[in-house]
Structure formats: C-alpha cells, structure tokens
Amino acid sequence: MNEQDLREALRDAMTDAVPPRPVTADAALTKAQQARRARRANLAGLGVGVAVIALVAGAFTINAPRTLVGMAAQATPTSTTPAPTSSTEHGDRTQANGPQNDKSVQLLTTLDGVLPSTVAPATDQQLRGAAFALRTHQAQVENWDTNTWSYEGIEPVASVNGGAGVGRVLVEVYAPGNDIPTDICKAAQAFWGVGGDCAVKQVGDKAVGLIAHTADKRIDSVAAYRYSDGTVVYLAQSKDYFSSNLPGLATPPLTGDQLASLVLTPGFKVG
C-alpha cells in the first residue's frame, strides 16, 4: 500500500468510527479496505443495473412499435387492386319484393297449375295446427358477383278425396351461372344433399335425373333437369311435411313418372 492509500484508509476509518476511539494502524487499514470494497460493490451494482436497463430498453426499441398506428405506418401495400366484395356486405340474400321475388311467386303459381288431379293444395282446414306457414316462395341470390339467383316454391298438398294428411311438393330453379354439377344425376343428388341412387330417365328427347328414394328423411324423391343455357330445375316431394306438426299422407303425392315429366314444365324456367 502506498502513502496515498494509507491516507485514504485513515480518513475512511476516522469518518466511519462512531463513537471516536483510538485505533491501531492495522485496524484502521482493515476498516478502510472494507469500506472501499463496499463502495466499489455499490458502484458495480449500479453499473450492472444501468446496463440491464439499457439492454431491456434496447430490446423493446429494436422491435416495431406495438401501437396500431406504428404497425400501420410500417405496412407496405402489395397491390392497389380492391378486394372482392363479400356477399355479407350486400345484406339479406333474399328478396321479399321486386322482380326476383315476382319470379318466385310465378313459380309457385305454375306449380299449383300442373299438380295432377289426384292431389290439390291443402285447405286452411287441413293446415290447421301447422307449426309454421307451409305454403311459401322465395327468391335468393346465390352469387352477388355474377348476379345468379335461385327461386323456390313450396306447396303443401292433400288428397282430393279429403281426410287428414298433408304432403309436400316443391320446385327449385337455379339460374345460369350456378355451380351445380353438370352431370344430371350428380345434380339430382346435390339437391339439399339428399343423396340416394339416381337413374337417368328419358322423357322424350330430354334426360332427367331421378332419385326415387333419397337417403334424407325430409325428401322422398327428386327429379332434376338442366337446360342448355345452364338453368337447373328441381321438382321434389315428400309424403309428409317435415317438422310441420301435421300428419302425413300414406304415399308420396306423385309417381316417379309424374315427377320426371313435370320437372320439364316450361313455366318453371323463370331464371
């Protein structure tokens, strides 16, 4: 230890000594060394703390700002082409009034007019107790971008001989531009996803896809026909009206031959 260290040690020892008392040079030196070590340790700790704070701060400043404004400011557009318009932006897909709705009204009227003589639209008396309105029609957009529409008419039917029991006959039409399979049997099976075995039935020079017995309890049978312009017409039936809370008929309203013939009704092509 040099002279300067000795003087510092003596000064530290004199400052820290409470109350004052005589000390030997060795004791003073030992106490001074302990004080210096304590000060250095404190300074070292402070230095580490500053370094840690700087490191942590650096870690947070290296990354992009965590605000939406900062993130938005760093975003680089990759295209100026506007995004496709979602169908949800157009609101309700159905039309309750207007030209498209008029087509669905026409469809239901046409259906009523071609029913065979053995069945007729159910009367108010026969529909009493139904869980909901059973006679309905609807126009619905299938694709906003191509302005493709579909139309539906549903008629609850009963035997002309009277008695209890209500069945259902319904027609659906999909305008050109639809994505229904071009194969007529696959098209028939695609109706409500009913499935079932399909046979191609020739009616004159036209091929109709006919499913005599579907795999779906809502629908007994369905016929499908595609026009050359892409319009697809479905005619389907069931001996009871699913979930209507009414008793059903003993047998489906139409025969398979009647179903296949009536699906070709020109008035159904409203699309």
Share of the chain above pLDDT 70, in %: 66
Q: Are 209 and 200 in contact (CB under 8 A)?
A: yes
pLDDT at site 132: 97
Residues in CB range of 206: below 8 A, 6 or more apart: 225, 264
Question: What are 227-242's pLDDT values in tens digits?
Answer: 999 999 999 999 999 9
H helix runs in the chain, sequence order: 3-16, 25-62, 68-74, 99-114, 184-190, 256-262
pTM higher than 0.75: no
Question: What are 213-232's pLDDT values in tens digits?
Answer: 999 999 999 999 999 999 99
The two tokens of residue 96 are 């309750």
Indicate the range of 2-6, 46-50, 241-245, 247-251 predicted with least confidence: 46-50
Question: What are 40-69's pLDDT values in tens digits?
Answer: 445 444 444 444 344 334 444 433 332 222
* Identity at 121, one-letter amino acid code: P
Indicate the range of 52-61, 132-141, 240-249 predicted with least confidence: 52-61
CA distance linking residue 264 with residue 206, whole number of Å:
9
**CA dihedral over 254, 257, 262, 263, signed as positive or negative:** positive
Question: What are 109-120's pLDDT values in tens digits?
Answer: 999 999 999 999
Q: Are 172 and 222 in contact (CB under 8 A)?
A: no
pLDDT band at residue 152 under the 50/70/90 scheme: very high
- What residue spans define the domains of the chain? 3-73, 93-268
